[in-house]
Amino acid sequence: MSLDHSLAGVPSEPHERSWDSKDALLYAVGVGAGLGDPLQELEFTTENGQGIEQQVLPTFAVLIAQARPPRSRR
């Protein structure tokens, strides 16, 4: 998908996005978190480790910022 440069600066309606911990976990695994040494990145790849608080990779925000246009009903 290429960028449509004609849309730069064009006002649009706000879009709401939501996500949960499983979305963040799937993203982390998808980009390779924990691939080299799984114990080094548990905070990104698990939500139920004892004494490990789940964190989200900063690049996950790129997906959240990409608002999808509403689908038209047919």
What residue segments make up the domains of the chain, in order of their start?
A: 19-65
pLDDT at 13: 80
Q: Which of 34, 61, 36, 59 is nearest to 49 (CA)?
A: 34
Arithmetic mean of pLDDT, 28-49: 91
pLDDT at 1: 61
The pLDDT tens digits for 6-35 are 888 888 787 778 889 999 999 999 999 999
Looking at the chain, list the stretches that DSSP marks H as alpha helix, in order from N- to C-terminal side: 21-30, 42-45, 60-65
For the cut 80, the answer to whether the pLDDT of residue 74 exceeds it is: no
CA dist., res. 19 & res. 21, Å (int): 7
pLDDT at 69: 59
Q: Which residue has the higher pLDDT, 48 or 20?
A: 20
pLDDT at 12: 78
